[in-house]
Amino acid sequence: MRKVEVLPFSKDWKKRFEEEAQQLRNVFGDLIIAIHHIGSTSIPGLAAKPVIDILPVVNDIEAVDRYNEQMVQMGYEPRGEYGISGRRYFPKGGNERTHHVHAYEDGSPEIERHLAFRDYLSTHETEREQYSTLKLELAKQFPHDIESYIKGKHELAQSIDTRASEWYKKQQAR
């Protein structure tokens, strides 16, 4: 059973991302075009589950599958698309998750969606605080029920996601 633990923002999360990103670069080499820290741990000031979300942008998503054994050796579990077409998903740590890798091929709209969410909440304090508060409350309410925690934040996350995408497109047009 996965415990739902939400912690105040930690500057250590960026360091953990950078260390793991370097290991991923060592595994995937030239397949990686860019690698981004995404998710709640990438947003300064946002409370989060202490799981580092990493988004490698690759030049060939099918080629990622050839590295499954190296990912297993690093402690990751290859899960394929895992519900999102064009993604390769790898959680690390079993029920004590430490990292999630979400690989996408260059040009996937999912890349922009993740970056928009991160950048929007990094610059919109009121919504960041609202989301942070909700996550903390849900973690207290559902300490051993990850599905209810995820369901409880879904509506607000979707609302933020929509505003973030519109905002991000305007930022890119400048």
Q: Which of 95, 55, 102 is nearest to 78 (CA)?
A: 102
List C-alpha distances in Å: 147 to 55, 96, 153, 155. 23, 16, 10, 14
List C-alpha distances in Å: 117 to 69, 123, 125, 139, 161. 31, 10, 13, 21, 6
CATH architecture of the domain with residue range 12-173: 2-Layer Sandwich (3.30)
| Domain range list for the chain | 12-173
Rg, the chain, Cα only: 16
Measure the CA–CA gap between 43 and 13, rounded to whole angstroms.
10
Model confidence over 21-67: pLDDT tens digits?
A: 999 999 999 999 999 999 999 999 999 999 999 999 999 999 999 99
Query: What mean pLDDT do residues 111-127 have?
Result: 98
What is the predicted pLDDT for the residue at 159?
A: 98
